Amino acid sequence: MRIYAIGDIHGQLDMLKAAHARIEADKARVGDPDARVIHLGDYVDRGPDSAGVIQYLMDGMAAGKPWRAIRGNHDRMFTRFVRHGIAHDNAHIKSGKSWLHPALGGPTTLASYGVEAVDGEFEIAHMQAKKAVPEAHLDFVENLPLTYAWGDYLFVHAGIRPRVAIEHQSEEDLIWIREGWLDYRGPLPFTVVHGHTALDEATHFGNRIDIDSGAGYGRPLSVLVIENSHEEIVTETGRAHLTHANPG
């Protein structure tokens, strides 16, 4: 039994296709074409083709590929802006930047749909986005689950609130959490595989594995494979060792 996981994509369609090519090569090598692939969210923002990423995932899942996808915080910011014109999430973005600020990447997402957006011109961008973004894309993103469980592993975008049962976890924590999570070294009922917090490379922290290696900033997109409770990274030349953090 094995499963593959892909970290935060952030509009990097070419990287996503290359990641799937690496997975298909690994599947062929082990003879397991039906192994599942879980995508950890943040399909939009910063990279050049958010629209293409969403369409690629929709097409693959509609064609019956063994793919799963969960929702991230950037995905929610995207749909909230297009649906309701909400550009700020001040409870989580300490800088106060809007989704249309280049640092968050909203303008590149809208550009992939043919909409030119400038930070501050919320009403104009909202009206144009409502016309340009297909309803099917919004429905797809909004209906994605927040977690995916597989064996002794839980896949989630950002993480979980320690010592809170999974059925009582809040959406805010599942897609946004950092404080009280990234520094938690205690036991968990499962190994959590997540993204959200970009690192230089995918890293195992003992109770959690962060596979967001910064594709949104132009760094390589990471693919994790879990097989018989052993975790490795899938590269163009085969499998490689997963970095483990110093427990201290």
Domain that holds residue 54: 2-244
Tally of CB atoms within 10 A around 22: 21
Length of the chain: 248
Summarised one tens digit per residue, pLDDT across range 1-22 is 899 999 999 999 999 999 999 9
Token pair in block for residue 150: 């597989």
Angle at Cα 240 formed by Cα 176 and Cα 52, nearest 5°? 50
CATH, residue 40: 3.60.21.10
Number of domains in the chain: 1
Summarised one tens digit per residue, pLDDT across range 124-179 is 999 999 999 999 999 999 999 999 999 999 999 999 999 999 999 999 999 999 99
pLDDT given for residue 90 in this prediction: 63
Q: With pLDDT > 90 as the criterion, what percentage of the chain qualifies?
A: 91
CB 223 within 8 A of CB 233: yes
Token pair in block for residue 154: 């839980």
Quickly state the pLDDT bin for 215 (edges 50, 70, 90): very high
Summarised one tens digit per residue, pLDDT across range 97-135 is 999 999 999 999 999 999 998 888 899 999 999 999 999
CB 16 within 8 A of CB 6: yes
- Cβ contacts of residue 140 below 8 Å, gap of 6+? 54, 57, 58
pLDDT given for residue 176 in this prediction: 96
pLDDT at 71 over 60: yes
Q: Whole-model pTM?
A: 0.95
Separation of alpha carbons 13 and 52, rounded Å: 6
Q: With pLDDT > 70 as the criterion, what percentage of the chain qualifies?
A: 98
pLDDT at 89 over 80: no
